[in-house]
Structure 1
Amino acid sequence: MKPDLQSHRPKARGAVTNAVSRYEPVTRHAEADGWDRDDDLPTLRTEVSVERPRSLITYNRSPDLPFDRSINPYRGCEHGCVYCFARPSHAYLGLSPGLDFETKLVARPDAPDVLRAELARKSYKPAPIAIGTNTDPYQPIERDHGIMRACLEVLEACNHPVAIVTKGTLIERDIDILARMARRGLARVGISVTTLDPDLSRRMEPRAPNPKRRLTMIRRLAEAGIPVRIMASPMVPALTDPELEAILDAGKQAGARTASWIMLRLPREVSPLWQEWLAVHNPDRTGRVMSKLRDMHGGRDYDARWGHRMRGTGAYAELVQHRFKIALKRLGLRETAPPMRTDLFRPPAQDSAQLSLF
């Protein structure tokens, strides 16, 4: 599989191409003229636009997920993880799930105010809010926008529980808030480590912190009393899954209390993007990786059914799960964390021109 020619040089990016989204009626393909144009192409730069959301909390009923609500301060993710299952969501914006997903980002600066208003509704019932389950709230642009920290400030003021998933070192900036919330049973964090190989990580998730740095994040969070989960995700068959035990061991040594794993998922446009990446970076593994994935999904690249999509089925998936269980027992890690508290929740005060009498 040979990727299409580019109009920009995708330096330090995950996706190889910028194929149009599934909703676009027209596709464009560049034709080679015999010249090597890579040195003449401009470097692909990150662009950030602003969105003013009318609502923020997204609810789900998936039995595969341990939460029923989440928020996203940003759309798209500059970390550029080529395997990211959230890439197809960029198609709803009329953008490519390929290079657009990691270069044309959307910040939502009003998110904290919208969140505060939703938590203040009389009908709202508290339950843990997940952040980072779609795009990373601590990706590099958070340094300039600070939307995630402002959302945490809203949640802390309300004593609202939060579960965060990230690869971003910027979470260390917010240890002060998270530590205070953790002491009240209101916060926990999951750190995703896909591989311990820095070279493979650099190619597969080019703008995410390297694996060693992520382990340092776990240590610093744990030392602050914040419960941390080591997430060996996604496991790529015949590429990263041999590292499962080593990743869990490294997480435990860094201070993680719980652990989880998810098999590589290839929904919609992610599959061709992933296969393009394999053809460029690991051509000798392409057939083996895809064969094992298809074996776990009934001959397809991906099976989106509940109960199947996270780990697949069959002998290979069962083997990885068996290895995971043995590693948990050996290391003393848990798969499930204690529930967070919801009884401390107090709705934010609503703005009013009339002063309260009490």
Structure 2
Amino acid sequence: MTLPPRNPDEILKARGADSRPAVRFDPYHTEREHDGWDIPEEQSLLETEVRIERARSILTRNSSPDIPFDRSVNPYRGCEHGCIYCFARPSHAYLGLSPGLDFETRIIAKPDAPQLLEAAISKRSYQVAPIAFGTNTDPYQPIESRMRIMRGCLEVLHAWNHPLSIVTRGAGVMRDVDLLAPMAAQGQVFVGVSITTLDTELSRAMEPRAPAPATRLKMIRALADAGVPVRVMAAPMIPVLTAHELEAILAAAREAGATSASTIPLRLPLEISPLFRDWLERHQPGKAQHVMNRIQEMRGGRDNDPRFGHRMRGEGPEAELLRQRYHLACKRLGLQGKSKPLDCSRFGPPARAGDQLSLF
């Protein structure tokens, strides 16, 4: 896929992508063409736009053998963090929006998520199991500070004693320690904090609106100090750019209080491959081909290998060496590969005013 040229009328500030590649489901696409006039167009800053979705349901089910949960909730579609490698970017195409700039500037919020969540778990047919948050886009991206949708979902699950897991790189998770700490004390929650690199400049370029690496280590410390189990997710590991930092990331996270860890080599499904290649040419031109060659060594000569059992692990000497380094570092640091199972036994409806036996 050849990416369209950047729109010269837009001023981009702290964005990962540089353009809007065509949506793969659209039968037509548009291209900019000079109109022949020499009158300069007025430039404007590309700002984030938030749209509201009135969803009918909020629980998403999956049966993937590569994923350790069967249900998830995503309060938002799209993510303002703008991580150029984000595997969720292609999901914006289902909305008729580009996985490029649209993914990080046109955010879809689901303000009814807490109510829909409570309605789902209160059904008599519902069978409790941990609910995963942050599986597609970050529940603690910047707009959560004012929309508080994730907060509302947490309040519902806290009231029902429902177990959950969270994956985030958003500092807003520290706001909700008052809910997470008592749930952690009952074995009902753990938080995964994603750290791709400890290099501030590289992080700013790859993850332009995500918290800096030092802030993410502070997040781990704050959660750990509150008794919340934290997994450091050293992911994605990118050959040449970040893979050499694996041991340093794990050590820094362990020092901050993480008790478990995981790692995944970079995946480049669908539209992410051309977006990432374009980013490399803009930010790391001298390393671009070397990076892609090493990625292809782990993906059977392709940019991406979507097969179950392979997509999260990679194959070949490059991937095997990364796994060996990860296991040795975890053993040396005392990091567990798996988090403890979450407790589902306390699940039940909260006491309501006027309930029978409420005095006993």
TM-score normalised over the length of structure 1 = 0.95
Compared with structure 1, are the counterparts of its residues 216 and 357 closer, same or farther at alpha carbon in structure 2 (3 Å cutoff)?
closer
**1:188-224 deviations in Å (ceiling 9; x for gaps):** 0000000000000000000000000100000000000
Q: Shift in Å at residue 29 of structure 1? A: 2.6
Partner of 1:26: 28
The SS at the match of 1:117 is: helix
Give the superposition deviation at 1:87. Answer: 0.4
Counterpart for residue 139 of structure 2: 137
Aligned to 2:266: 264
Residues 99-153 of structure 1: per-residue CA shift (max 9 Å, x gap): 0000000110000000000001111111111000110000010011100000000
Match status 1:236 vs 2:238: yes
Poorly superposed stretches of 4+, deviation over 3 Å: 31-40, 347-350, 355-358
- AA aligned opposite 2:6: L
Q: Quick one: structure 1 residues 338 and 212, their matched pair in 2 at CA, closer, same or farther if it must change by over 3 Å?
A: same
1:274 alignment partner, SS class = helix
- Which of 82, 101, 104 is the aligned partner of 1:102? 104
Once the two structures are superposed, residues 7-55 of structure 1 have per-residue CA deviations (whole angstroms, 9 ceiling, x without a partner) of: 4122110011111210122222335799999995211100001001111
Are the structure 2 counterparts of residues 28 and 260 from structure 1 closer, same or farther at C-alpha, using a change threshold of 3 Å? same
What letter corresponds to residue 322 of structure 1 in structure 2? Q
How far is 1:340 from its partner?
Answer: 0.6
* Number of residue pairs the alignment of both structures matches: 355
- How much identity, in percent, do the aligned residues show? 57
Aligned positions of 1:186-335 closer than 5 A? 186-335=188-337
Question: Tell me, which stretches of 5 or more residues in structure 2 are unaligned?
Answer: none
* Contact 1:73 1:147 (8 Å CA) reproduced: yes
Aligned partners of 2:38 and 2:23: how far apart in 1?
A: 27
CA distance, structure 2, for counterparts of residue 263 and residue 47 of structure 1: 31
Q: CA deviation at 1:5?
A: 2.6
Would the alpha carbon gap of residues 2 and 68 (structure 1) be closer, same or farther in structure 2, given more than 3 Å must change?
closer
Q: Secondary structure of the residue that 1:259 maps to in structure 2?
A: strand
Shift of 1:288: 1.1
Check the 8 A contact 1:3/1:16 in 2, yes or no: no
Query: TM-score, structure 2 length as denominator?
Result: 0.94
The one-letter amino acid paired with 1:242 is H
Provide closer, same or farther for how the CA distance between residues 40 and 281 of structure 1 changes in structure 2, counting only shifts above 3 A.
Answer: farther
Distance (whole Å) between structure 2 residues aligned to residue 77 and residue 138 of structure 1: 9
The correspondence of residues 178-193 of structure 1 with structure 2, limited to 5 A, is 178-193=180-195
**Whole-Å Cα distance in 1 between the matches of residues 144 and 35 of structure 2?**
41
Q: 2:341 aligns with which of 339, 345, 357?
A: 339
Q: Distance in 1 between matches of 2:156 and 2:136?
A: 20
Q: Greater CA deviation, 280-289 or 93-102? A: 280-289
Kindly provide the amino acid, as one letter, of the partner of residue 72 in structure 1: N
Deviation per residue, 1:140-180 (Å, 9 max, x gap): 10011100000000001110001000011111110000001
Q: Is the 8 A contact 1:119 1:347 kept in 2?
A: no
Residue in 1 that maps onto 2:85: 83
Alignment partners' CA distance in 2, 1:84 and 1:130: 18
Equivalent residue of 2:329, what SS?
helix
Aligned equivalents of 2:192, 2:38: Cα separation in 1: 43
Corresponding position of 1:74: 76
State the SS of the aligned residue for 2:107.
strand
The root-mean-square deviation of aligned C-alpha atoms, in Å, is 2.2
Provide the secondary structure at the position in 2 that maps to 1:133: coil
- Note the C-alpha offset of 1:347: 3.7
Aligned partners of 1:60, 1:97: CA distance in 2, in Å?
22
Pairwise CA distance, 1:229: 0.5
Cα deviation, 1:78-117, whole Å, max 9, x if unaligned, reads 0000000000000111100000000000110000000000
Q: Which amino acid aligns with 1:86?
A: A
Amino acid at match of 2:175: R
What is the distance in 1 between the residues matched to 2:192 and 2:277? 28
Which residue number in structure 2 is paired with residue 154 of structure 1? 156
- Residue pair 1:116, 1:348 contacting (<8 A) in 2 also: no
Q: 2:6 — aligned with what?
A: 5
Following the alignment from structure 1 to structure 2, what is the Cα–Cα distance between the partners of residues 206 and 39? 27
CA distance in 2, matches of 1:88, 1:240: 23
Residues 3 and 19 in structure 2, CA contact (< 8 A), matched pair in contact too = no
Q: Distance in 2 between matches of 1:99 and 1:123?
A: 41
Write the distance in 2 (CA, Å) between the matches of 1:61 and 1:146. 29
Look up the match of 1:163.
Answer: 165
SS across alignment from 2:45: coil
SS in 1 for 2:262: strand
